Amino acid sequence: MNSVNSSYSVSRIEDEAALRKWKEALISEPYRSYLYSYPHKMSYRTLENSLPLADLWSKETVDTFFLYMHIPFCSARCGFCNLFTLPDKRSHVHEQYVDALERQAKQWAPFVSGKPIARFAIGGGTPTLLQAGQLDRLFRIAEETMGMVPGQASISVETSPETVTTERMLVLKDRGVDRVSMGIQSFVEAEANAIYRPQKPLEVERALEQLKLHEFPILNLDLIYGLPGQTIKSWLYSLDRALSYHPEEIFLYPLYTRDHTIVKPEHMREIGIDNRLELYIAARDRLIAHGYVQSSMRRFARPEVSLAKKLLPYSCQEEGMLGLGCGARSYTGDVHYATRYGVSRSATESIIADYVAASDHTTTDYGFILNKDERQRRFILKAILHAEGLQLSSYVERFGTSPLDDQPDLNKLLLTDLAVMESGVLRLTAEGLAYSDSIGDWFISPEVRSLMESFVLA
């Protein structure tokens, strides 16, 4: 056991045998849930009273904002996907949706008046499923309506192999996009077929060649491990193929199967093999050997990446996120809100239809109101699930108390070598990062967990 820089001893928390038992339970199930934000979207509910957004945003003290646009359309739903997305390639449907997004933007623009946008991202779905003209229109909305200045904002766009065309990529290049992220998942056709992903390796290679020609400052590639039939050999083959294109970032995602997806939990249980942790460790070690730096369980980046822009500051610990579009979430300090969430085709079609038909986007009646405990948990999770860790002084400055006093269970991480304390920063060890999905799930509050477990997914 490590010695810990806190007032809590093993005897004050639990004895060593109990701690070992706790750790064994934690690491016995490494992939409990992917907690990319907190509180989870399945903890959102209809609010007791509709909240005027102008009032919510007038209280925000952040200096800069994160603008996000959600395009909930894709060419086909992958077998593992439970995101808010609808397979629909019809251009007139896309146009109606962008009309609604612009209407929403015009009503929200006064909320950020006088404060700059430091980050801008377009996600989905597949934003580049839109025709070039509609794609360009999104940037016009960001710049002309929301006030985003391309020269001082980090700009990121998601794409997919079949939608990478010269015309679309020229729009992204002309609009100053810094980062293009493409989901590949696997270079092995049989593995892609197993998750109902309609792509051929040659199509992926073509898209990558096209992306490299446009020389975006950051190319990110997503890969998934734990696919049916995947072995260490086939997994590292896909990783090496990705590395051959020298991407600035690589994200590694474990396969999760959920209800309302084509590849269901029971299908994976029938296979009876879960080699995800073994695959993760093999890929992590390969990437580090190639000079990539790990910043979370999922993200690996080349250290020499730099942008020509002088970006405005923005901390992931801050709120100030405005999510335009159906399915996008917005974060203020006390309230997180969004449209309803669904996965089935009928549910997503209905929610999108309501969004497109709406004329007023100035209030919200669906979300989660964070009390102090939830704000503290969010602050901690946003820090410890990344390699830079939780700086205790930042927490004290924000809340006026110590995180180890507010959340004494954090000491379990320190006392079981899943985390260390160095120069006032609590950060996960390499072992701790490997179990990030288990640690994040463990740290969910009882109230949020109860809401998540009672959520009825349509």
**Interatomic CA distance for residues 355 and 339, integer angstroms:** 8
Which is more confidently placed, 85 or 294?
A: 294
**Interatomic CA distance for residues 149 and 154, integer angstroms:** 10
Mean pLDDT over residues 6-28, rounded? 75
- Which are the contacts of 394, defined by CB distance < 8 A and separation ≥ 6? 317, 383
Least confident of 88-97, 267-276, 291-300, 365-374: 267-276
- Which are the contacts of 288, defined by CB distance < 8 A and separation ≥ 6? 294, 300
| Short-list 406, 411, 408, CA closest to 396 | 406
Residue 1 has pLDDT above 70, yes or no: no
Give residue 3's pLDDT band: very low, low, confident or very high (50, 70, 90). very low
Scan for tokens 């359309």, then name that residue. Answer: 73
Report the Cα–Cα distance between both ends of the chain, in Å, rounded: 46
Give residue 4's pLDDT band: very low, low, confident or very high (50, 70, 90). very low
Which is more confidently placed, 44 or 83?
A: 44
Mean pLDDT over residues 90-97, rounded? 96
Quick: pLDDT tens for 175-202. 999 999 999 999 999 998 887 777 788 9
- Predicted pLDDT of residue 98: 98
Give residue 265's pLDDT band: very low, low, confident or very high (50, 70, 90). low
- Predicted pLDDT of residue 2: 45
Instruction: List, in order of start, the domains of the chain with CATH numbers.
Output: 10-38+371-451 (1.10.10), 52-301 (3.20.20.70)
Tokens of 131: 């025709």
Residue 6 has pLDDT above 60, yes or no: no
